Chain A
Amino acid sequence: MSNYIIASDRIGVVGQPFTADEGINVEALLAGGFITQSGVKSDKTKTEPQEEK
């Protein structure tokens, strides 16, 4: 299973898993924002909805 998700339509369909062929520099794609690592949690903190009074 791929560990990367396509983030730019320059390398494929955004949101689809990315599988790097041999010789592809994955670190450069990550640095350039073309792919993201799957399973990386968002910085956003989930907050419980406030109860209306």
Chain B
Amino acid sequence: MATSTLLSNPVVTVNAVDLTDQCKSAELHVAVGELESTAFGSTSRVYVSGLYENSLKLTLYMSYAAAETYATLNALVGTQTNVTVTANTGTVSATNPKFTLTGAFLKELPHMWTLGELSVVDVEFHGGVYSAATT
């Protein structure tokens, strides 16, 4: 029996602002650099952990209205902030973890318009310290 949870209703915050109702995609990457430590005598390449390089990509509907997407992101370009994704609505728990990148950097805020479509923006928060809360 499948036990995976379909990630269909996460809670997304950017700089403490809840943008869940403007977000249609969230992609969190927790990655660590691999440093090769293979030495003479080795028969296989081996690696040790390097620095973490985390990121959170969000696809958001763009709104220039007050207290919406643009108001949230505009002043964050070129700065660090906290971003969170909770797996689902409801209380944070072991089965509903809340992932945080603390001190993630927003490099750019693109603006895109396409004829006949809702305006969306893809933003990526890079770096930051990863943590997962279960309480």
Interface residues of A (CB under 8 A from B): 7-8, 10-11, 20-25, 27-29, 31-34
How far is it, in angstroms, between the C-alpha of A21 and the C-alpha of B19 when the chains are bound?
Answer: 18
B72 sits at the interface (CB 8 A)? yes
Which B residues are in CB contact (< 8 Å) with A28?
Answer: 15, 72, 74-76, 79, 81
Cα A11 to Cα B67 with chains together (Å): 10
Contact residues on B (Cβ < 8 Å of other chain), bracket: 10 to 19
The interface residues of chain B lying within 8 Å CB-to-CB of A29 are 15-17
What is the bound-complex CA distance between A23 and B76, given in angstroms? 12
Tell me if B132 counts as interface (CB < 8 A to partner A).
no
The 3 closest A-B pairs by CB, nearest first: A28-B75, A32-B71, A31-B75
B15 to chain A: which residues have CB within 8 Å?
Answer: 24-25, 28-29
B128 nearest in chain A by CB position: A23
A21 to B71, CA, bound (A): 20
A25 surroundings in chain B (CB, below 8 A): 15, 75-76, 79-81
Q: Can you list 18 pairs linking A and B with CB atoms under 8 Å apart?
A: A8-B17, A11-B17, A11-B18, A20-B16, A22-B102, A23-B102, A23-B103, A25-B15, A25-B81, A27-B75, A28-B76, A28-B81, A29-B16, A32-B74, A33-B71, A34-B17, A34-B67, A34-B71
